[in-house]
Structure 1
Amino acid sequence: MVKLLKCTGTCKMNLRAFLADREMQALVTLDLVAWKDRRLVVTEKARKLVEAD
């Protein structure tokens, strides 16, 4: 099952929770996470969103 998370202006908390749970299989919109070899790859765009506080 693939869950689709919508990323809005308030998605930072959701992204943190998503990134903290490495076993969660989800696809974040806006090219934040990409599938690579059946593993989730968090892109720089997502890292910057999460780390930009």
Structure 2
Amino acid sequence: LTELLGTARDAGLLLMPSGKSRHIIRLLIPLTIEPDVLHEGLDIFERCLAALA
């Protein structure tokens, strides 16, 4: 998870680990987010996951 958080941060996406064991990723998305910004963030997240697979 640490590697994923670092990869995402380097790509401009901030993720927040959560849970007792810090094994959950929380997405803190504002209710007023524009759809294109949401898709951009999810695309970055998907690329980061693929890079670590």
TM-score by structure 1 length? 0.33
* Structure (1 or 2) with the greater helix fraction: 2
Pick the structure with greater CA Rg: 2
